[in-house]
Amino acid sequence: MKNTLKFSVLLFAGALLVWGAGITFALAQEEQAIKCGKVPAAVTAAFKTAYPKATIRDCSKEVEKDKVAYEISSIENKTHRDILYYEDGTVIVVEEAIPAGDLPEPVRLAIGKKYPRGPITLAERLTRNSAVTYEVRLKNKGKTLELIYDPEGKEVPD
Which is more confident, 6 or 137? 137
Q: Average pLDDT of 90-119? A: 95
Per-residue pLDDT tens for 126-152?
999 999 999 999 999 889 999 999 999
Dihedral pair phi/psi, residue 26, rounded to 5°: -65, -40
pLDDT at 8: 41
Per-residue HEC secondary structure of 73-101 comes to EEEECCEEEEEEEECCCCEEEEEEECCHH
Q: Specify the pTM.
A: 0.77
Per-residue pLDDT tens for 51-75?
999 999 999 999 998 999 999 999 9
